[in-house]
Structure formats: structure tokens, C-alpha cells
Amino acid sequence: MKQKGSAIRLLVWVGLLIVEMSKSLATEIRYDITGIDGDVKGNVRYFLDSLPDYKPENFKRFQPYVRETIQKAMQALGYYSASVKLVMQDAHEVMVHIKSGRPVKLDSIYVAIDGMAKSDPAFQHYMSSLPLSSGDLVNHEKYEEIKKKLCQLGQDHGYFDARFIRHRLVIDPENYRGSVDILFDSGSRYRFGKIKYTHLSPGLQRLIRPLVDFREGDFYDINCLNQLTQRLSATGYFRSIDIYPLKDEASDAVIPLHIGLRTRQAHELELGVGLSTDEGLHTRLDWKKPLINDKGHSMTARVGVSEIKQELSASYKIPIDNPLQRYYVVETAYERLNQKDTDSKLLRTSFHKMRIQPEGWDRDLFFSVEYESYEQGIQQDKSLLLLPGISLSRRVTDGRYDPDQGYYQLIKLQASSKQWGSNADFIQLSGRIKGLYTFAEKHRLIGRLEQGITWVDSLDVIPPSLRFFAGGNQSVRGYGYESISPKDSEGNLTGSKYLSVVSAEYSYTFRPKWRAALFVDTGTATNDYHESWKVGTGFGLRWVSPIGQVRLDLAFAMSEEGHPWRIHFGIGPEI
């Protein structure tokens, strides 16, 4: 019985709560604003929305407060002679009719800088583009913005003693005139002092020293600290990064820095799942040891499984000096590929010397030892290759998550010779260029060019992993993944010595993050260029998702009888 009584009381309380909430919603006051529009109306609406809730029967008592609030909203944008009429239309709506009157305009603007900032390019640039000028309507928000920006520039560029000598916004409402008078004294500009590290061993301090691109005695600049934070984060060594100036320890216009770093966990696991029409559903499991020792060594291992490919790999990274730009990588991997007419087992060990150039070409000097056992059509064989080579790549974009402009270039050269222990003599050169251009905001063009050349007497000595195939989501759409190739006497794909692919795509942004696309691809994988190039064309959708661009295409194989169609799906960046 007690439980029954408690349940009844609970229902009663819930009912009363619902009734009170309904009353609260029912008594909300709405304001119908007329007589003004644009930014002025929006500002009045913003001010009215900040008012506390009150019941309709208390409107007369709140009316002076409402009127005062509207006047402040109008004055903030230069209307000091506005008239306001308030009428209670019904129990929940107030009609607000406003006559803005003649606005107050600025007839004088004086903004000046004293101190070292007077010759600072950052301040000069801002002073050349102030948000207020003579003849503008008075705008309190822009006036405050000027003061706030000057203070922010001072802090960002090391003027820690900066102050306003005076700052005034003078209003003469009777003559509809206003003036701005600001004098900002920056004082001296501080310089970087010594760096004080916390939670960091002497060895790690030496490791990250090349990432610090400013020196003691340089002028303070917040951008230097922001860029250093980004570089430290990019190393993957640290789970927390805390960099700030020690203002309490500054003296004689020199300010020391605090750098506090905490290393990441000893072991990290990451699981990834993807889907594409080229490889189907694929999953990967990565194990990482971000920091093995104070010299910056790190290790990564991966297990990847898809419908056509399985891989097991491990890599060990050794910085040379700058851990982001110059380092060695030792890799070993086992790959199993079972797709169409290819059945391959590849064991590879490689050594890489990397040089990363943030605004130039990334270079990879490598030496790879590859043992491959395979069946390619009717051919069964094994190969042992010792491959020295070089790879150059460059990616340039406008820096956005979804870039409007950019291009990517890749060139790779490798060679094999019996003289140094390989089973075959050949030289292989391959390259890829892709560019993106946006015009008239919503229109985008994407072009792609691929070329591969292998100088070899007979294709039979080249394993499948180094032969060229065309077709698929990133090649010639309308055709299956790596389905374009010469064939053997039984009609099986063999791969080829040469590869050529050209692609052009146009897309239109019809709503934020959504695009419609039209494309045409053409290409071939051949041994002599006697065959006709394959052509695929179609249309698709693009969605800029939080995990990357999602692409869905319907493509037609125009070079085949009946123009069969194929759906292509993929996720990844355009550039």
C-alpha cells in the first residue's frame, strides 16, 4: 500500500510540474518589431531577447525597462533620437513600433599609436583598415572592437606594458555628430628570454630543439608559440603541450617561456573500418609506441584485412635531427593479394631516408628487398628483387579542411639489376598529378593525370606488385578495380609495362557540404599502346563529412558494348 501511495504522489507531482511548465511557456512574451529592418532590427531583437521573463499582467510595470532597452539597442548603432511605441496586442504579444529618427554620424576619427608598435607592420596593417571611418554612423560595437584589437595585437606581439593614454567616444545628439579619440601607447616590445622546460628530460629537450625556430633575443610573437605547439603535436610524442610566457619573471623587456610537455602512453591501439567498391569492406588495427627513448625513436605495427588483400606490417622510425623533417624508417611487411587473376604473396623489407619540406618537395630515398611468390593468369613464378629508388611528392592546398584550390604531384623512380643480386633487370618510372580549382564559389574543376613506364625486355620477369593495371574508383571509373590490362592466351589479365590515365571532373555545390559531379575518365594499361584507350563517364554525389569526402558515382563503360554501368563508392580527400 505504501508503494501504491508513493506512486500516486509521484504522478501528482509530475502532473503539477507539467502544468507549471505549460504556464511558463504560455506566458512567454513575443515582440513584433516594425518600423526598422536589417542590422538595426536584429540588434533590437538581440537586446529584447536578453530581457528577463515576466508575466503579461506585469507588462505596464516592465514597460519603462523595455523602452530603455530598445533605446540602448538603437543608440548602439547611432540612433539617439529614436521614438518607441509599445502596445500590448494580446496576452502574449507586444507590438513595438520604432521611428529611428536622424542618425548620429562620425565627423572625426583619431586613432594613434605611440611607442615601438608605431613601426610594427602588424599594427600598420590594422591601422590602414579600421572598421570605422569619418562619415560612418556611430557604432559602439566597432568602437569597442578597435580597442579590443589594439590590446590583442599588443599581447600577441609582445607589448606587455601597452596601455591607453585616452579612449573616448563623444556623442553630440543635438547636432547629430560624434567623434572617436583613441591614443594607444604600446611601450617597448619584449624579446624572448630563456626557455624553461617542465616534465621533460635533457634528452627530449635536445630532440625538440630543432622545432624551436626562434632564438633568445628575438622579438616576442604569439605566432611563433602557436607554430611551435603545432609542430610538437605533429611529432606524436606528447599528450599535452603547455606553452606560455612567464610574465611575472619578465625584466628589462625580456620574457622567459614555459614549455610543459607530457609524453603519450607507452602503447596505443587504434581500430579503423572503411568501405570502398575497389576493396570492399576493410578493417585495420594499428599498434603504436609513440616514444621509445629520448632520441625520439618510435614504432608502429598494422594488421589490415579486406576482401581482396591482407597485410601485416611494422615500421621503426629514427630521427636524424629534426624529427618532423629528417628521419630514417625501417619497414617490413607481408601482403597477400587475391583478386581476379592475381594471387600473390609478397614479403618486403625496406629502408628509407626521409626529408620532408613543408613548402617544397618531400623526398624518400629507399632501398627495398622484395620476395614475391605469385600466380598471374597462367604464369606461376617467384622473384627476388633488390630495388634502390627515389620518390618525390608535393602537396599544396589552401589549408582548409575542404580545400578550394590545390594540387598533388608524385614521381617515383626505382631500378633492379642482376648485377646486385636481383632476378631481373628493369627501370620503372611512374608519376601522378592531380589539381583542384574552384571558380565562382560553387563551381569546381578536378583534373588528374597518371603515367607509368617500365623499361624491361619481357614482362614475365616483373612480379604482379610492380605491373600496371587500370580501372576503378581512383583510375578509370565504369570499369572494375584493376580490370584494364592485356590478357594472356586464356583471357586472364597479365598486367602491363605502361600505364596512362587522364581524368576530368566538374562539380557544383548545390547546398552546404553537398556537390553534384560530372566526370569523364580515359586510360589504358598496355605493353605497346596498340589497344584503344578505355573511356568511362558518369555522374555522382559528393558529401563533405566529418571523416572526409564521401564519393558516390554512377559510371558507364563507354568503350564496351551496351555501355554497362557500375557504382563506385569511396571516402577520402580530393587532393
Which has the closest alpha carbon to 423: 457, 455, 461, 460?
461
Side chain identity at residue 128, one-letter code:
S
Q: Is 382 exposed, middle or buried (0-12, 13-18, 19+ CB in 10 A)?
A: exposed
Residues 6+ apart with CB under 8 A from 437: 405, 444, 445, 446
- Map out the domains of the chain as residue ranges: 24-99, 105-185, 191-263, 268-571
Q: If you average pLDDT over every residue of the chain, what do you get?
A: 92
* Residue 57 pLDDT: 79
Instruction: Kindly report the number of other CB atoms within 10 A of residue 97's CB atom.
Output: 14
Q: What is the mean pLDDT of residues 550-562?
A: 96
CATH architecture of the domain with residue range 268-571: Beta Barrel (2.40)
Quote the cell numbers at residue 26.
504560455
463-485: average pLDDT: 96
- With 0-12 CB in 10 A as exposed, 13-18 as middle and 19+ as buried, what is 96? buried
Cα distance between residue 250 and residue 222, in whole Å: 16
567/571 Cα distance (integer angstroms): 14
pTM (predicted TM-score): 0.81
> Can you spell out the DSSP letters for 478-501?
TS-TT-BS-B-TTS-B--BSEEEE
pLDDT of amino acid 59: 82
The reported pLDDT for the residue numbered 174 is 92
Q: Alpha-carbon dihedral of residues 40, 42, 45, 47, nearest 10 degrees?
A: -70
Task: Rounding to the nearest 10 degrees, give the CA dihedral for residues 467, 468, 471, 474.
Answer: 100
- Distance in angstroms (rounded) separating the CA atoms of residues 92 and 26: 8
Half-sphere exposure of 212 (CA within 13 A, CB side): 18
Assigned C-alpha cell, 398: 589552401
Homologous superfamily, domain 24-99:
membrane protein fhac (3.10.20.310)
The pLDDT-based confidence of 93 (bands split at 50, 70, 90) is confident
Phi, psi torsion values for 288, nearest 5 degrees: -130, 140
**What's the confidence (pLDDT) of residue 18?**
46
What whole-number distance in Å separates Cα of residue 102 and Cα of residue 125? 33
Half-sphere exposure at residue 507, Cβ-oriented, CA atoms within 13 angstroms:
24
- CA-based Rg of the chain, rounded to a whole angstrom? 34
Does position 373 have pLDDT exceeding 60, yes or no? yes
Q: What pLDDT was estimated at residue 147?
A: 97
Phi, psi at 138, each rounded to 5°: -60, 135
Distances (CA, A) of 114 to 126, 150, 166, 183, 299: 15, 12, 12, 7, 54
Does 424 score more than 70 pLDDT?
yes
Rounded distance between C-alpha atoms, residue 349 and residue 366, angstroms: 11
Look at residue 172 in the predicted model and tell me its pLDDT: 94
- Residue 124 pLDDT exceeds 80: yes
CB 549 within 8 A of CB 543: yes
* Sequence letter at residue 187: G
Is the predicted pLDDT of residue 19 greater than 60, yes or no? no
Contact between residue 35 and residue 97 where contact means Cβ atoms under 8 Å apart:
yes
Section 414-443 average pLDDT? 96
As a whole number, mean pLDDT of residues 25-31 equals 66
User: Please, what sign has the CA dihedral across residues 204, 205, 207, 212?
Assistant: positive
Q: Which helix (H) or strand (E) holds 18?
A: helix 2-26
Percentage of the chain with pLDDT > 90? 85
Cβ of 422: how many Cβ atoms within 10 Å?
Answer: 19
pLDDT bin (cut points 50, 70, 90) of residue 25 is very low
**Fold equal for 105-185 and 191-263:** yes
CATH of region 105-185 = 3.10.20.310
Q: Specify whether the CB–CB gap between 178 and 169 falls below 8 A.
A: yes
CATH of 191-263, one of 3.40.50.150, 3.40.50.300, 3.10.450.630, 3.10.20.310: 3.10.20.310
What confidence tier does 370 reach under pLDDT thresholds 50, 70, 90?
A: very high
**Order of strands, sheet of 93-99, starting from the edge strand that comes earlier in the sequence:** 30-34, 93-99, 83-88
> Residue 173 — very low, low, confident or very high, per pLDDT cuts 50/70/90?
very high
Residue 84 to residue 53: CA distance in whole angstroms: 20
Q: Are 425 and 418 in contact (CB under 8 A)?
A: yes
Residues 187 and 115 sit within 8 Å (Cβ to Cβ): yes
Q: Residue 14: its pLDDT value, please?
A: 46
> What is the three-state SS of 68-103?
HHHHHHHHCCCCCCCEEEEEECCCCEEEEEEECCCC
Residue that has been written with the C-alpha cell 619540406 in this structure? 357
DSSP 19-82: HHHHHHHHT--EEEEES--HHHHHHHHHHHHTSPP--GGGHHHHHHHHHHHHHHHHHTTT--S-
Is 469 within 8 Å of 534 (Cβ atoms)?
no
C-alpha cell at 534: 578505355
Q: According to the model, what pLDDT value does residue 400 have? A: 87
